[in-house]
Amino acid sequence: MNSDCIVIEGSNMAECHPVAFQWVTEAKARGAKVIHVDPRFTRTSAIADLHVPLRAGSDIVFLGALVNHVLSNDLYFHDYVAAYTNASSLIREEYQDSEDLDGLFSGWDPDSKQYDQASWQYEYEDTPDAGVSEDDPAGAAEQERLSQEESVKDADQAHASGSGGPPLHGRAKRDETLQHPRCVFQVLKRHFARYTPEKVAEVCGVEPEAFLKVAEWITANSGRERTTAFVYSVGWTQHTVGAQYIRTASILQALLGNMGRPGGGILALRGHASIQGSTDIPTLYNLLPGYLPMPHATQHQSLDDYVADAAGTGGFWGNKRAYAVSLLKAWWGDAATPENDFCFDYVPKITGDHSSYRTVADMVEGKVAGYFLAGENPTVGHANGRMQRFGLANLEWLVVRDLQMIESASFWQTAPEIETGELVTEQIPTEVFFVPAASHVEKDGTFTQTQRMLQWRFKAIEPPGDCRSDLWFYYHLGRILRERLEDSTDPRDRPLLDLTWDYPLHGETQDPSADAVLREINGVGPDGRALSGYLDLKDDGSTTSGCWIYSGVYADEVNQAARKRPGREQGQVASEWGWSWPYNRRVLYNRASADPDGKPWSERKKYVWWDAEAGRWASTGDAVDFEATKPPDYVPPPGAKAQAALSGQDPFVMQSDGKAWLFAPKGVVDGPLPTHYEPSESPVENALYAVQGNPSTEHIQAPYNREAPSMGDVFPYSVTTYRLTEHHTAGAMSRTLPYLSELQPEFFVEVSPELAAERGLENGGWATLVSPRAAIEARVLVTERIRPIRTRGGQVVHQIGAPYHWGETGISTGDSANDLLPVVMDPNTHIQESKASTVDIRPGRRPRGPELTELLEQYRHRAGIASGRMPVGGRVAVEGT
Amino acid sequence: MKTWLDAWPVFRQLTGPDPLGRGAAARSRATENVVARTATADRVVQSVCPYCSVGCAQRVYVKDEQVVQIEGDPDSPVNRGRLCPKGSASKSLVTSPTRVTKVRYRRPYGTEWEDLDLDTAMEMIADRVLDARRRYWQDECDGKRVNRTMGIASLGGAALDNEENYLMKKLYSAMGAIQIENQARI
């Protein structure tokens, strides 16, 4: 609401986050410019001042050209960039840019398809005391070396920097004049020089006038007096270069001085009630709570190994040992002692990529025995539903917890592959337990919403019948397991037996207390009292905390997430409604809203400032994201560690150097700077480099996951999947409800009138979409909302929009758009490319039964792709491994 | 006392203070007796919408231990009382007649769902967890200590509470399971 300009790109905010969109319309009513950059014209576009239709998968060219525009026209926020970014840091001499290597960076290994990132790093000061003091320099150096091993890079350890940047092991040499040819600023200029308005026209299909209007609006609305915000969703993340899309926006926003300021920033609109919470307290294979990495067998055989990379280095990650020890104490209590490394050995170790799609590929091979699905319907909601179903059909047992009978539970009866004969019910060995779940009103607990705010829900009623909360399910499963193993002498069972697992139980069903769990997450001190935040955490085992970034949510023995002081009784920040991590800060890195001397950049954008008289930072209502009494003129003394190693002018306190990174010397596996690569399946040749797609893309080669060649004529159209207002992801919570099913009763695809004419499609009629993975049918919606993109070379790219909510069961049923998609993944995140792949479209319904598999086989043959035929039962191995 | 003539809306419209027939004249006794479910609820409980990530606050109206209505909470600085179509449908989500409320069991190679007692199901699941855990156990992998099982995987949705995710990660880690994933990956 404080923004002067809002760019929504990779998101259809008005339809997918409609209630949040009220704040955009309010900003607009106050005079803010609203820009929507998206392949489709939607309700978001209708409200925007400007809709810029661009070709799906070309965002880095568009954003990169904005970066270039800002740099080459000297429109960046000079004082902000000089003080708060790494623009002046020097990069090593060995570094070679994609400019030098036609789309690759230095360090590329064509065999492993990975980069050695050593040459991307800063050139460090070589004086004996460069102002950086690590606890364990030799250990840190060893960790640095191991971090470049293939299995470590496969394991996506960079993700463990989710609440900040990876640690650095020296102080970068700097050139404050920004003239040195190897300083980040100059590297950036050279890298983005080829991202011009002409290239935007050629690659994105955006007219130069529209591009220049966006450039003009965002630069006019940035600086001391004004701020611009960016908003994105999975339209950015679900690409093989997804992380780099967001990096490009970060670079732009840092150059414009929009980070850490009111009305600025980059807002990720996440898709589910507590998807932010599910990342912070991760049920993710490569993370422990609070973005601590899951220990890797190659790197982390002891607690010392585990913390060596960060311990003592600049910024708040310098206290990694305190966070890790407090977590181990929360889990293993008195059993965790300094003598036994606080039970660090109890934590299982990863050895590579164990992410969801990789695990499903293992299931298809029969390598996984049991699978729990807790509120997830992957046969509809994940890319390549066929692969998911073949995985489920090759398990020994499956436990499903949901409100409704979902496709992933009934696949042995309802899978489309039963009709084609690829699966036969009587031959599927999977034992299935459907254990019904409690709804959101039938249990206490917190969701973390998209701005990191935890909100407590009070239980309204008891769940019906056998329905139970997941807290109940996992607590009692753990209780039974521990009872079974009570007399075990096997050391492998110690982690379960020593686990702290004593929560107060309530009511007839013996539901564990969510309040007690939240308090454990917060952590307690030696006196047994709840801690007030992570600054209280110690590395000697005297404190506990189940998730260090959430420490403070139970400060003063009060459930801070349950605070519900009405918004109208509070100021704009409304800091007494719920609780945001960390330390209830609503705008992250808000020290950057003041200039280096601690004065607000302008009266209009005043947010936090240094109150010299009081000797502390003050704010308009938010918690200051900086050490409360560290003055702007603080200079770290030699040997300073962790946060003390950051100066009073380093606002990005989770970064090792306290700076916003225009260039990422570490932490991004597919390049230190964003580079345009075409989607893995693209109708268009890469117009910028000789490298077509992201060379680091992860593929799973198997008959169920065949990929189409780019620029082929068998699968000539680009398809992008999306959501509707009236449905929710895989449909279990919407296709089962009469109102919502009536509002959006049927699966449809959007095509332009031009494509309809080219393929003979009729509005309201049927069409069949074919990819190398699947053929599905949908109703056709012919609409000018989706339009062909004409690139400068004269090529016309037709795009098809496909909402992905449908499946075989529920009130409203239909084929699943996700069945079309390939599993090809961003190497940083293992997220699939849902937003741009290729298909053919033809009028009429799809064939049934074995004819369907024949049709697909014919298509693959014509496109020169290997056979995708699956054996009955669907058990096959991944090829080439 | 009302007469048959008073009960006739047109009569009231012509004779009363509501000549346009948009207010009192159009109200019947049935209308007078209609009371909002929100007014007669036994209690109102503060909650949060379970769909997207905006975090709209909800008020859950309960009568006779049943949810009778769910509305946006005007106190919330996030949504100021508003809900979208999905949030507005969340009463039908929690009261849906097609919700599964009994454990369902499909035996290997089975063709139909069967009934199963909840406690029995929990014991059977525990049996399978212990069995898979042992059969797929690895003390070491490529000569490095890993202390884990590769037999058990998990995929959570992102409407899990923080407390639930926490217990899941804690328990899975203690049992040595590592292929633990969430919609947050997607």
Dump the DSSP string for B5-50: TTT-HHHHHHHSS-TTSSSGGG--HHHHH---HHHH-SEEEEEE-S
Residues of A in contact with B50 (CB under 8 A): 273, 439-440, 447, 733
CATH number of the CATH domain containing A22: 3.40.228.10
Is B99 within a domain? no
Q: Which of B94, B116, B138 is the last residue of a domain?
A: B94
Residues 6+ apart with CB under 8 A from A533: A551, A552, A555, A582, A583
SS3 A827: coil
Q: Residue A164: its pLDDT value, please?
A: 65
A84-137, pLDDT tens digit by residue?
999 999 999 999 999 999 999 999 999 999 999 999 999 998 764 444 556 777
Q: Which of A268, A293, A311 is the last residue of a domain?
A: A268
Is B51 within a domain? yes
In chain A, the number of structural domains is: 2
From residue A219, alpha-carbon distances to A48, A257, A542, A596 in Å are: 18, 10, 51, 22
Is A643 within a domain? no
In chain B, the number of structural domains is: 3
Q: Are residues B138 and B84 in the same domain?
A: no
Cross-chain residue pair B56–A19, CB shorter than 8 Å: yes
A343-369, pLDDT tens digit by residue?
999 999 999 999 999 999 999 999 999
β pairing state of B57-63 and B66-72: antiparallel
Is A55 within a domain? yes
Q: Are residues B44 and B109 in the same domain?
A: no
Compare CB distances from A283 to B103, B141, B182 and report the shortest one's residue. B182
Q: Are residues B20 and B60 in the same domain?
A: no
Q: What is the rounded average pLDDT of the residues B82-101? A: 98
Residues of A in contact with B182 (CB under 8 A): 275, 278-279, 282-284, 376
SS3 B149: strand
State the residue range of the domain holding B65.
37-94
* Distance between CA atoms of residues A549 and A581, nearest Å: 6
Instruction: For an interface test with B, give the residue of A44, A236, A272 to mutate (most B CBs within 10 A).
Output: A272
Q: What is the rounded average pLDDT of the residues A290-305? A: 95
Q: Are residues B119 and B180 in the same domain?
A: yes
Residue-averaged pLDDT of chain B: 94
Q: Are residues B47 and B7 in the same domain?
A: no
Q: Which of A268, A292, A324 is the last residue of a domain?
A: A268
Residues of A in contact with B170 (CB under 8 A): 331, 499, 546
List, as ranges, residues 113-152 from B with C-beta within 8 Å of A: 113, 116, 118, 121-126, 128-132, 135-137, 139, 141-142, 144-152
Top pLDDT among B134 and A655 is at: B134
Cα torsion through B171, A296, A660, A70, rounded to 10: -110
The percent of chain B in helix, strand and coil, each rounded to the nearest 5, is 35, 25, 40
Cross-chain residue pair A349–B176, CB shorter than 8 Å: no
CB of A399 within 8 Å of a chain B CB? The answer is yes
* Distance between CA atoms of residues A170 and A312, nearest Å: 11
Half-sphere exposure of A742 (CA within 13 A, CB side): 5
Q: Does A161 have pLDDT greater than 70?
A: no
DSSP strands (E only) in A168-302: 228-232, 266-268, 287-288, 292-293
Tokens found for residue A534: 């992570």
Compare CB distances from B99 to A279, A397, A403 and report the shortest one's residue. A403
CB of A349 within 8 Å of a chain B CB? The answer is yes
DSSP strands (E only) in A340-381: 370-374
Cross-chain residue pair A403–B113, CB shorter than 8 Å: no
Is B140 within a domain? yes
Cross-chain residue pair B55–A514, CB shorter than 8 Å: no
Cross-chain residue pair A441–B70, CB shorter than 8 Å: yes
List, as ranges, residues 243-302 from A with C-beta within 8 Å of B: 269-285, 288-289, 294, 297-298, 301
Is A454 within a domain? no
- The torsion region of residue A333 among left (phi > 0), alpha (psi -120 to 50) and beta comes to left
State the residue range of the domain holding A254.
5-77+192-268
Is A53 within a domain? yes
Helices then strands, counting H and E runs in chain B, come out as 7, 8
Tokens found for residue A344: 């660090």
Is B145 within a domain? yes
Q: Which helix (H) or strand (E) holds B144?
A: strand B144-156
Compare CB distances from B79 to A19, A477, A728 and report the shortest one's residue. A19
Tell me whether residue A688 is exposed, middle or buried, using C-beta atoms within 10 angstroms of its C-beta: 0 to 12, 13 to 18, 19 or more: buried
Nearest CA in chain A to B74: A566
Tell me the longest C-alpha to C-alpha distance in chain B: 96
Residues of A in contact with B105 (CB under 8 A): 431-434
Nearest CA in chain A to B70: A441
**Is A459:A505 a contact under the CB 8 Å cutoff?**
no
Q: What is the rounded average pLDDT of the residues A300-305? A: 95
CB of B14 within 8 Å of a chain A CB? The answer is no
Instruction: For an interface test with A, give the residue of B90, B167, B175, B178 to mutate (most A CBs within 10 A).
Output: B167
A510 DSSP assignment? T
Q: Are residues B4 and B67 in the same domain?
A: no
* Distance between CA atoms of residues A833 and A248, nearest Å: 18
A181-210, pLDDT tens digit by residue?
999 999 999 999 999 999 999 999 999 999
Q: Residue A131: its pLDDT value, please?
A: 45
Q: Are residues B44 and B68 in the same domain?
A: yes
Is B128 within a domain? yes
Count of residues for chain B? Answer: 186
A612-643, pLDDT tens digit by residue?
999 999 999 999 999 999 999 999 998 898 89
Distance from CA of A657 to the nearest CA of B (A): 28
A32-67, pLDDT tens digit by residue?
999 999 999 999 999 999 999 999 999 999 999 999
From the list A873, A515, A328, A763, the residue with the least C-alpha distance to B173 is: A328
Cross-chain residue pair B181–A284, CB shorter than 8 Å: yes
Q: Residue A204: its pLDDT value, please?
A: 96
Q: Residue A390: its pLDDT value, please?
A: 98
Distance from CA of A506 to the nearest CA of B (A): 16
Q: Are residues B86 and B141 in the same domain?
A: no
Go through A378-411 and write b for each residue having 16 or more CB atoms within 10 A of its CB, e for each that does not.
Answer: bbbbbbbbbbbbbbbbbbbbbbbbbbbbbbbbbb
A166-182, pLDDT tens digit by residue?
788 788 999 999 999 99
Q: Are residues B15 and B41 in the same domain?
A: no
Distance from CA of B68 to the nearest CA of A (A): 11
Tokens found for residue A787: 């339009």
List, as ranges, residues 66-105 from A with C-beta within 8 Å of B: none
A503-550, pLDDT tens digit by residue?
999 999 999 999 999 999 999 999 999 999 999 999 999 999 999 999
Q: Residue A74: its pLDDT value, please?
A: 97
Q: Are residues B68 and B122 in the same domain?
A: no
**Is A365:A394 a contact under the CB 8 Å cutoff?**
yes
Q: Which helix (H) or strand (E) holds A600?
A: none
Residue-averaged pLDDT of chain A: 95
Instruction: Band the pLDDT of B29: cuts 50, 70, 90.
Output: confident
Q: Residue A1: its pLDDT value, please?
A: 77
Residues of A in contact with B84 (CB under 8 A): 18-19, 725
CATH number of the CATH domain containing A736: 2.40.40.20
Is B173 within a domain? yes
Residues of A in contact with B158 (CB under 8 A): 270-275, 277-278, 375
From residue A52, alpha-carbon distances to A9, A202, A209, A256, A834 in Å are: 9, 14, 10, 21, 21
A676-725, pLDDT tens digit by residue?
999 999 999 999 999 999 999 999 999 999 999 999 999 999 999 999 99
Residues of A in contact with B68 (CB under 8 A): none
Q: Does B87 have pLDDT greater than 70?
A: yes
Q: Are residues B181 and B116 in the same domain?
A: yes
List, as ranges, residues 20-39 from B with C-beta within 8 Å of A: none
Is B132 within a domain? yes
Is A164 within a domain? no
* Distance between CA atoms of residues A200 and A771, nearest Å: 28
Residues of A in contact with B71 (CB under 8 A): none
Residues of B in contact with A723 (CB under 8 A): none
Q: Are residues B108 and B181 in the same domain?
A: yes
First to last CA, chain A: 51
